[in-house]
Structure 1
Amino acid sequence: MNSHQVALLLFDLALILVLAQGLGYLATRIGQPPVVGEILAGVLLGPTLLDGAVSDTLFPTDVRPLLSAMADVGVTLFMFGVGLEIERQALRGRGRMAAAVSVGSTAVPFVLGTGLGFFLLRDHPTEQKAAFIVFIGLAVSVTAFPVLARILSDRGLAKSTLGGIALATAALVDIVAWTALAGVQAAVGSGHGGMWRVALMIPFVLLLVLLVRPWLRRLMTRGDGRGPATPWLLAQVLIGALLCGAATEFMGMHYIFGAFLFGLIVPAECGDRLRGDLMQHTRNVTSVLLPVYFVVAGLKVDLRQFGWAETTELAAVLLVAVAGKFGGTYLAARTAGLPGRPATALAALMNTRGLTELVILGVGLQAGLLDGDLYSLLVVMALVTTAMTGPLLTRTYAKPVVVPETEERRETRRSVTPSA
């Protein structure tokens, strides 16, 4: 790197952080999660604004690979954090309800999404037709677990019954979505990396569960397991996340899967303070690197040629995404025994997509399943559906509603001895 590139890279990083923080703050002022403003910042810095003059001047081709590398590290740690935040204890007492709702929240939008995939194939042809159709189904089925958790926390619902059901359902939906996406990635990338590399995924998972997880348990429960995370412990955990990402990338899959799996196997037996420290340290790093990912993603969003054809496609995408996710979740929740208003609020929460959607779309773009135009439309869909969540939740769940306690929850509550 020469002096000019270094200076421009540092300036770009400062600009990205200023815009992300500024628009993220403005988003919170109007009742939106910060990720809405951060995604918008990435789109505004892309080629859509001023016919690409801003993006070409501020982000020349010799600097973009450096930003992409930083974005990759940020997403790797973000996916580790997603896996880390999915606590198995969240399912305790809510397993049946969450499982029932997650089926509707995943299956209905996926089926409608595959139909949408057939529709989109007309104007976005690809040699991987089956993988494309399945990918579109997954793209409209995902729920952004971290954004959902943030919304619940901001509204004081994280500890409520509805919040617990929403978190447990989103956790199951995310696990199913990432597993299915790994399968699609393996099918598309097997020709590049070879099927033998993809087959390594089975012993890799076994290694994580049988060897790495017990090692993490011993590492994190030394003493009483309730102390703060030391720099040495944090370094070892982050090294593990990065190595797992490198391993799945070598297997012909995406690095996000390895980082997600590593976060998922972190034992829940470690103390709450230790786990909280790991989450906080991870967020501190990703708060700097993730805005870079928004800009890298935004540089690929080009809405300059947005016309009637694109408007029709966007309307179809939004209709399928919202109707499938909202309708599927609501019907499943009502069938599982939730009253109408909590079921509607749960459906609104599950419709949020946020950064998780951008990560999935990035995988599709990298795998050649999406072209630039369709990628841009799907990013807009992610932005719109995430922005819808707050207003819908306010209208449907402005006041607390008591969700009936199930027999499963009563049995669990009776079996748990309160701590001193």
Structure 2
Amino acid sequence: MTSHQIQILFLDIAIVLIMARGLGYLATRINQPPVIGEILGGVLLGPTLLDGALSEALFPDEVRPMLAGVANLGVALFMFTVGLEIEGSTMRGNGRVAVAAAVGSTAVPFLLGIGLAFALLPRHDSANHGAFVVFIGLAVSVTAFPVLARILTDRGLSRTAVGGIALATAAFVDVAAWATLAGVNASVGADGRHWLVLFTLPYLACMLLVVRPLMRRFLVSSNTAAHAGPLKFAVVLIGALLSAAATEAMGMHHIFGGFLFGLVIPREGAQALRADIHDRTSHLTAILLPMYFVVAGFQVDLGGIGLSGLLDLSLILVVAVIGKFGGTYLGARSQKLHPRSAASLAALMNTRGLTELVILGVGLKLGLLDGQLYSLMVVMAMVTTVMTGPLLTRIQGARLHAAPDDSIARDHVGAASP
């Protein structure tokens, strides 16, 4: 690596962070999650603006692989925090409502997505039609758990009944989405070494039966501190990175390893310690993840979409929004959830954010998406995330901005079936 390349790399990282923080702040000023501004920054730094002249000048080819390496590290740690956030007790506590809403939120958009895939195939052919169809169904079924959690916190809904059900539902959907994506990745992305996927089940067993007890013994004690010391934090990060490397070596994707390691971190008796690990890791991903937006933006070119592209985008948006909203609403109402609460839950589950970008990146890497379809799906991720806040405001009204306790939820949540 030459001195000139080091200079360009450092300059590029600084530019990306300035764009991400600046546009992320502007997004919050219009009541949008910061990730909207960060994704937009990545798109603007790609070939869409000035026909790619700005992108080529700021990010020469010799530096892009280094940025991609930083981006992959950021995504692996981000997926670790996603796994860390999923709370088993939350899912169990909301029982049948969350399960019914999750089934509707996954099955309905997935089935509609399969139909969408067949409609897109004539204009966006794929070498593996079966994997393409499943992937499109998956791509319109995604919910961004971290973005949803941030919206609930910002709106004072995280401690309401609706917020608890939303988090539980999103957790179910996330686990189902990553499991499905793992299967697609294993069938397409093993580079002819599909036999390596046979190690997946022993690996899962090792993580649950060996690594999880070891992490509990290491992290949890009778005098567990509220803060992870340097040694504990280092061991956790090393474990997440080794897990990511293991799944990548098995022909999977490194995001699964990071996510799984987050899941096996102990919950009971270590809430404060887990929160501290999450906060520290989030500080790292706040610096690393914007590189992923830029690397993703390199593949987004909205300049030459044309009429057929706009028609495809309209179809994608209709399927994504109607499938997600309708499926979640029907699932929640099947368990007697109040109509307004069911509609609020459906609006929340429609947010996709960064999770969608990660999944789309896997599809692009596997060759399941061409450049134009990838660009259209990125736009869909942004639009559905942007519409969540205004739609939720329209459904719930101004009262939900006032109080974060369950008294508001009782006004909107009907009795679920026992």
TM-score, length-scaled by structure 1: 0.95
Instruction: Please tell me the residue identity of whatever aligns with 1:217.
Output: R
Matched, 1:5 2:2: no
What is the aligned partner in structure 2 of residue 202 from structure 1?
A: 201
Q: Deviations over 1:268-315 (max 9, x none)?
A: 124221011010011000000000100110111011112100000000
3-state SS of paired residue (1:200)? helix
RMSD: 1.0
Q: How many residues align?
A: 407
Instruction: Please tell me the residue identity of whatever aligns with 2:46.
Output: G
Matches for 1:20-169 after TM superposition, within 5 Å = 20-169=20-169
Q: Deviations over 1:87-122 (max 9, x none)?
A: 111113202111111000000000000000001110
The 1:406/1:319 distance shift into structure 2, 3 A limit, reads closer
Aligned partners of 1:226 and 1:270 also within 8 Å: no
3-state SS of paired residue (2:185)? helix
Q: Deviations over 1:137-187 (max 9, x none)?
A: 000000000000000000110010000000000000000000010001111
What is the aligned partner in structure 2 of residue 276 from structure 1?
A: 275
Give 4+ residue runs of structure 1 displaced > 2 Å after superposition.
222-227, 398-401, 404-408
CA distance in 1, matches of 2:217, 2:417: 36
Shift of 1:406: 4.2
Instruction: Please tell me the residue identity of whatever aligns with 2:133.
Output: I
What is the aligned partner in structure 2 of residue 219 from structure 1?
A: 218
What is the aligned partner in structure 2 of residue 171 from structure 1?
A: 171
Matched, 1:342 2:341: yes
CA distance in 2, matches of 1:194, 1:70: 26
Matches for 1:229-268 after TM superposition, within 5 Å = 229-268=228-267
Aligned partners of 2:336 and 2:415 also within 8 Å: no
Aligned partners of 1:217 and 1:269 also within 8 Å: no
Shift of 1:249: 0.4
What is the aligned partner in structure 2 of residue 291 from structure 1?
A: 290
Q: Deviations over 1:33-79 (max 9, x none)?
A: 00000000000000000111110000010000000000000000000
Aligned partners of 2:161 and 2:409 also within 8 Å: no
Shift of 1:224: 2.4
Aligned partners of 2:108 and 2:327 also within 8 Å: yes
Uncovered stretches (5+) of structure 1, i.e. residues with no partner: 409-420
Aligned partners of 2:41 and 2:294 also within 8 Å: yes
Aligned partners of 1:300 and 1:372 also within 8 Å: yes
CA distance in 1, matches of 2:312, 2:277: 42
CA distance in 2, matches of 1:297, 1:237: 27
- Seq. identity, %: 60
CA distance in 2, matches of 1:138, 1:165: 22
> Which has the larger displacement, 356-365 or 299-308?
299-308
Matches for 1:370-381 after TM superposition, within 5 Å = 370-381=369-380
Aligned partners of 2:347 and 2:392 also within 8 Å: yes
Uncovered stretches (5+) of structure 2, i.e. residues with no partner: 400-407
3-state SS of paired residue (2:299)? coil
Aligned partners of 1:145 and 1:174 also within 8 Å: yes
Matched, 1:323 2:322: yes
3-state SS of paired residue (1:380)? helix
Aligned partners of 1:193 and 1:252 also within 8 Å: no
Aligned counterpart for 1:404 among listed residues 400, 403, 414: 414
Matches for 1:184-195 after TM superposition, within 5 Å = 184-190=184-190, 192-195=191-194
Shift of 1:194: 1.6
> Which has the larger displacement, 270-279 or 309-318?
270-279
CA distance in 2, matches of 1:86, 1:20: 26
> Which has the larger displacement, 44-53 or 396-405?
396-405
Instruction: Please tell me the residue identity of whatever aligns with 1:291.
Output: P
Shift of 1:404: 3.3
Q: Deviations over 1:163-214 (max 9, x none)?
A: 0000000000000000010001111124x15222001000000000000000
Shift of 1:361: 0.2
The 1:82/1:193 distance shift into structure 2, 3 A limit, reads farther
